Each structure stands twice: as C-alpha cells, then as structure tokens.
Amino acid sequence: MRNISGVDGDSQGSGIMGKKTPRRPLDIIDQQPAASSPAEIAALATCARHGNKPDELLEILHELQEHVGYVPEATLPVIAKALNISRAEVHGVVTFYHDFRREPAGRHVIKICRAEACQSMGTEHLCQHAEQTLGTKLGGTSADGAYTIEAVYCLGNCALSPAILIGDRLFGKVDPIRFDSIVAGLNKEAAE
C-alpha cells in the first residue's frame, strides 16, 4: 500500500514526538501513527468525535470525505488504528460502497439517475448530453476540474424524472436544456 504522506503508517512503538517508547498494545493512543498530513489529522479527529467506535465507520468516512473531498489512502491506517480494526477491514468498506471516492473529484459532483423511472423519461439521452457538454464520461471529471459526473440508481424523485443531484440539491424534470441552465447556474455561483 502506497503511503502518500511519506510517513510510516505503521508507527507502533514510536511516540508522538518520535521518541521510542515501550509498546503498550492496549493503549490505543500510543498505537496511533503520528498524523502529519491535514487529511490524517482530520481522520483522527473524526474518529475521536465518534468515540473511536468501529460501528460508526461509515459515518466517519462520510464526514472525512465531506471535509477532505475524498478518502485519501494515507488515512486508512490511521482510521484502522483509531478504531482498533484491521487495515483490510477499512479498505474493504471504502471500496465496497459507491459513495466513497479514493481520488479528489471535480468542484461540482453531478449525479445523474440512470434507473428505470428516469430511463422511461430519457435519461440515456441526458447522460450522453452531459458527457458531451462537459467533455467527460460518466465516472470522470472534466479537464478543467470543474465537474465530475456520476451515474446513480434512483434519487427518489421518480414522478419528476429525469432527476439529478448536485451536492445536496435535487433537480427534477431535467432535460438537456434544463441541464445546461443548471450547470450555467453553478458557474454563476462559482463566479460570485
């Protein structure tokens, strides 16, 4: 596993200041690696806020992603140690769920519903339009880093299809024309 922070993720036995201290396996504080990058510090703080409870791992990852923008590889060992679970378990959860991204996304993440109700109202066409206008495939980010477009399966707005979700904002009856005006609105907001 690549450690992009350059810090040895497995720092058992080294104290907070890097001094060698005797290993006390039951003391979770001592087992935590020296978090150096802002993401690792954020990960530690998030875990602590959740009482370092392993059953709150999804909540922790959501919050971390909200804060950092994605779940950096370097935070996985930090989280594993804080929650006293294996790195494999954290890795397993991060990779299982579609929501958690392992790389930064564009400034705006546009989720387009591709499920049946939206299909019946032409979401395939909308997806193609989005891919063409933003110059990237579903799952990709536009060259200027402004937009990531993703397919989702149902946003619960099935009577007003097709639907898209941008951040916490839901849009219904999105045809290509409305899509363009929504994107233009995002640009305007960004400029303000």
Binding site for other proteins (CB under 8 A): 53-59, 61-62, 89, 92-93, 96-100, 111, 113, 115-121, 152-161, 163, 165, 168-173
Write down the least CB distance from residue 16 to other proteins, Å. 27
Write down the least CB distance from residue 44 to other proteins, Å. 17
Residue 74, phi then psi, degrees to nearest 5: -65, -20
Write down the least CB distance from residue 128 to other proteins, Å. 15
Residue 135, Ramachandran bin (φ over 0: left; ψ between -120 and 50: alpha; else beta): left
Identify the three-state secondary structure at position 150.
Answer: strand
**Smaller CB distance to other proteins: residue 23 or 125?**
125
Write down the least CB distance from residue 19 to other proteins, Å. 33
Tokens encoding 146: 């402004």
Angle between helix axes 75-83 and 87-96 (nearest 10 degrees) is 120
**Smaller CB distance to other proteins: residue 18 or 55?**
55
**Smaller CB distance to other proteins: residue 21 or 84?**
84
H-helix segments, 54-107: 57-68, 75-83, 87-96
**Smaller CB distance to other proteins: residue 7 or 171?**
171
Write down the least CB distance from residue 23 to other proteins, Å. 27
Handedness of CA 3, 8, 100, 39 (dihedral sign): negative
Residues 87/70, Cβ–Cβ less than 8 Å: no
96: Cβ–Cβ under 8 A, 6 or more apart, which residues?
none
**Smaller CB distance to other proteins: residue 14 or 52?**
52
The secondary structure element, H or E, covering residue 184 is helix 176-191
**Smaller CB distance to other proteins: residue 11 or 183?**
183
Write down the least CB distance from residue 130 to other proteins, Å. 17
Please name the amino acid found at residue 158: C
